[in-house]
Amino acid sequence: MSNGSSLPKIECEHISHIFETGEDQGTVALQDVSLQVRDCEFLCLLGPSGCGKTTLLRIIAGLVDPTEGMVLLDGQPSMGPDADKGMVFQRDATFPWLTVEQNVEYGLKLHGYGRTERESIIRKYIQLVGLTGFEKAYPKELSGGMRKRVDIARTYAYNPNVLLMDEPFGSLDLFTKTRMQAELLDLWSQERKTVVFVTHDLDEAIFLSDRVAVMSKRPGRIREIFEIPLPRPRIVDMKVSEEFGAIRRQLWEQFEEEFGVAQTSH
Amino acid sequence: MGWFWLADAVFDPIVELIRPVPPLAYIPLMILWFGIDETPKILVITIGAFVSCIINVVAGVKNTPLVYIEAARTMGAKNRDLFFTIALPAALPYILTGMRVALATAWAILVASELIAAQRGLGFMMTNARRFVRTDSIIVGIICIGLLAFVMDRAIRYINQRMTGWMERREG
């Protein structure tokens, strides 16, 4: 998919965002954030809650208009949500009144795919996320992890250029989470997309990413961007490797310096 | 009304104006205008049922969880798609509850208007029986009204459960 051009896929240019709070100033969530995401790269936005990382993602998605600055997609200004940018939410966003296959079909219908084409795409992605046999099930019959799989299949199915993920595994238990991370990487290695993944989980960010952008305290800025040199394909065992540990320590120092976790804990 | 702000601006004041008036209060006016035929009853029932239903529908549409709307928007849904494919299905349980309330209201108005002015029907039969002190007929009338109401309510509950099987419920 990459045509070798050096043009970044997503560019955030001098984005600032202020939430009106009713007081004079409002809350500055983001201040002059510039970020470039390369084509087909997996980038994590890492920071504790309240640092503005979700806001930045929502701005990229077009769900929030930034107070200042703009988002470019393929060099073109990108405004408002559209089918180029798929998003997976932290909260459960599967439509409960639709079955698994109808959920996956939703985006396809919007974009006018024909019936037979829809069916083959649905079958493919349901199989890719391992939900074969649950096509007719309603979300209420599924576990949290399975619903997330539906969300991911639904977003992948209509083939957006860019995949935005807002702590998608945040509410899952450690085992399910680890499995979902591996599955996501598996899917991503089969169909490369540009991914921006928001998380507060250090290990998750290192395991998944090509690059990790560490956010600063509020008002949010990008503090530093780390290349993650771990080879691909990544396997879960890497999480306990020496190399992983070294990267982890390095990132943690940044965290410590910025957020002073150790000083405030007891 | 819960979705399109223009519709809300136009119809909300009208509904709020009509709502406080018990539908039965329209009966004398309707009789004057349309006689004691079926037309005035249909009109009064329509008003009564509509008003008791619409509040639920509007509330349902307005309470559509934001995450569904945002998810659909990121998939490229426009406002029209959002209304038909997200807001309406999400509001369906509210809408069906509204219909259940509306049905009960409609039934009450029907019987009451027949008691006041009619040439046939259960209510008419009962007023007539009162004139001839036929207590038995009146009691049969009451039982019939109760049974019919019960059957209709069950029917709509059945439809409700069939159509909203996807909902997470407390009981199985």
Question: Which residue positions in chain B have pLDDT lower than 50?
Answer: 172
Q: In this complex, which of A85, A98, A139 lies closest to B74 when CB atoms are compared?
A: A85
The answer to whether B74 contacts A154, with C-beta atoms less than 8 Å apart, is: no
For residue B78 the two structure tokens come to 């426009």
Higher pLDDT among residues A20 and A57, named by residue? A57
Q: What is the pLDDT of residues A220-247, one digit of tens each?
A: 889 899 999 999 889 989 999 999 999 9
A106: chain B residues, CB-CB within 8 Å: 72, 75, 85
Contact B81/A at CB under 8 A: yes
Query: In sequence order, which ranges of chain B are alpha helices (DSSP H)?
Result: 5-18, 27-34, 38-62, 66-74, 79-81, 88-116, 122-131, 135-163
Over residues A182-199, mean pLDDT: 93
The token pair at A124 is 């493919």
Comparing CA positions, the residue from A106, A24, A12, A119 lying closest to residue A68 is: A12
Among candidates B75, B165, B167 on the partner chain, residue whose Cβ is nearest the Cβ of A107: B75
Residue A266 banded pLDDT, cuts 50, 70, 90: very low
Q: So what's the pLDDT on residue A5? A: 53
pLDDT at A1 > cutoff 70: no
Q: Rounded to the nearest 5°, which phi and psi values hold at B157?
A: -65, -40
Task: Check whether A110 has a pLDDT greater than 80.
Answer: yes
pLDDT of residue A262: 62
Residues of A in contact with B68 (CB under 8 A): 93, 95
Provide the ipTM. Answer: 0.86
Predicted confidence (pLDDT) at residue A265 exceeds the cutoff of 70: no
- Does A141 contact chain B (CB < 8 Å)? no
**Whether pLDDT at A213 is above 90:** yes
Helix (H) or strand (E) holding A225: strand A222-227
Per residue in A45-68, pLDDT tens?
Answer: 998 888 889 999 999 999 999 999
What percent of chain A has pLDDT above 90? 65
pLDDT at site A96: 94
pLDDT, residue A230, reads 92
**Interface contacts (A, B; CB < 8 Å):** 63
Residue A175, chain B, CB below 8 Å: the answer is no
pTM over 0.90: no
* Nearest chain B Cα distance for residue A109, angstroms: 10
Q: Alpha-carbon distance A181 to A167, whole Å?
A: 11
Q: Is B37 helix (H, G, I), strand (E, B) or coil?
A: coil
Minimum CA–CA partner of B68 in chain A: A93
Rounded to the nearest angstrom, the minimum Cα separation between A230 and chain B is: 32
Q: Does residue A263 surpass a pLDDT of 80?
A: no
Residue of A nearest to B166 (CA): A97
* Alpha-carbon distance B157 to nearest alpha carbon in chain A (angstroms): 18
B166 reaches A (C-beta below 8 A)? yes
Of A100-114, A156-170, B65-79, B123-137, least confident by mean pLDDT is B123-137
H-type alpha helices, chain A: 53-61, 100-110, 115-128, 144-157, 174-190, 202-208, 242-259, 261-264
B76 and A63 within 8 Å at the Cβ level: the answer is: no
Q: Which is higher by pLDDT, A43 or B171? A: A43
Nearest-by-CA chain A residue for B81:
A110
In this complex, do B75 and A155 lie within 8 Å of one another by their Cβ atoms?
A: yes
**pLDDT over 50 (residue A3):** no
Digit-coded pLDDT (tens) for B71-116: 999 998 988 899 999 999 999 888 888 888 888 888 888 888 888 8
DSSP for A36-101, written as a single string: EE-TT-EEEEE--TTSSHHHHHHHHHTSS--SEEEEEETTEE--S--TTEEEE-SS--S-TTS-HH
Predicted pLDDT at A264: 52
Give exposure, A141-160, as e/b (b: 16+ Cβ within 10 Å). ebeebbbbbbbbbbbbbbbb
pLDDT of residue A184: 94
Is the model more confident about A26 or about B71? B71
Bridge partners, A62 (sequence order) = none
Interface contact B76, partner A, CB < 8 A: yes
